[in-house]
Amino acid sequence: MEQLERIKYYETIFDEIQTKVIGLETALDEFEKVLGEIRELEEYYFGPVWREDRWTDEQGLLPKDLKRGILSEDGIYDLVTDLAELSDRLKEDARRTDPRG
């Protein structure tokens, strides 16, 4: 590869990575804003109040037009599991890209 071609090639890679890093920083900033809400959601799901709300729904006592995804057995659990897997993935990616080895 000739010098100018090489510089252009690596400049393209640099620009793409820089754009992705900025996007990831923005996404992480937004995610960090909801960390407290994630803990609150976990406490709700694993506590007695969620079971009471689910029982009320199973008895048909809640309005039929009420959005109730939160009352599904798997919804919050799957979300928490997805978050744990994403955390593991971020740790692995950080380890692989750490220039310090």
- Tell me: the pLDDT tens digits for 29-54? 999 999 889 889 989 998 999 999 99
Rounded Cα gap, residues 49 and 13, in angstroms: 51
Res 80: pLDDT: 85
Q: What is the mean pLDDT of the chain?
A: 92
Rounded Cα gap, residues 10 and 98, in angstroms: 19
Rounded Cα gap, residues 39 and 18, in angstroms: 32
Asked if residue 101 has pLDDT above 80, the reply is no
User: What's the whole-model pTM score?
Assistant: 0.68
**What region, left, alpha or beta, does residue 72 occupy, with left being phi > 0 and alpha being psi -120 to 50 degrees?**
beta
Identify which of 85, 80, 61, 60 has the alpha carbon closest to the alpha carbon of residue 70: 80
**Confidence category of residue 76, pLDDT binned at 50, 70, 90:** confident
The answer to whether the beta carbons of residues 45 and 76 sit under 8 Å apart is yes
The answer to whether the beta carbons of residues 31 and 23 sit under 8 Å apart is no
Percent of the chain at pLDDT above 90? Answer: 71
